[in-house]
Amino acid sequence: MNNYSYLFLALICNLACMSSTTQISEDGHCITIANGGYVLTAQAVAEVDQSYMLVAWDSSEGDGFADATVTCIPLDRADVLGGQHGVLTGSTHPDMREALKSAMDIRLIMTDASRRKALKKMQDTCAGMGNPVFRVGGREIRIGQATYRNAPTPFGNPPATVILADTIELEQTRYSSREIALKSEH
């Protein structure tokens, strides 16, 4: 083999070692998550089965452990605000600015890599003009300890809610409280 073959082989091995596959192990409420050099020890604090109106998608991926960071409004709150204020689309619309006061940041960690397709579809939809509605099921977790490449890191709990998501689905490509009301009547 020539030098380029060794270089190519070393590159492939390096990429394989750096792959961002999430490994999750659970022992009761104690959860260990390994991803991207991070190892997080967390505790499940609440079950989650909630729909949200997606407002913004944070593409910075700055924390290295989450599959997605989103800003959203719980759907029941969005419906109340929609009833009070009318249209909840377009970030510059006065009603939407009022609704954004109820927004929350969520970091999603998927327990199954196949669910990332739903995340990609949500991200593509959010890049458009609509505010998609998604439903997530899993557990809210609180991070206890964090290490990065075996070195303790002062990670603490981010200001966002962290959800270990077992299921995620896109319910609507564009938020409409009327569409949701019609679905619930059937």
Cα 173-82-123 angle, rounded to 5 deg: 25
Q: What does the domain layout of the chain look like in residue ranges?
A: 22-185
pLDDT over 70, % of the chain: 67
- pTM assigned to the model: 0.76
Render pLDDT for 3-15 as a digit per residue (tens, 0 to 9).
444 434 343 433 3
- Distant-in-sequence, close-in-space partners of 186: CB < 8 Å, separation ≥ 6: none
Render pLDDT for 32-56 as a digit per residue (tens, 0 to 9).
999 878 899 999 999 999 999 888 8
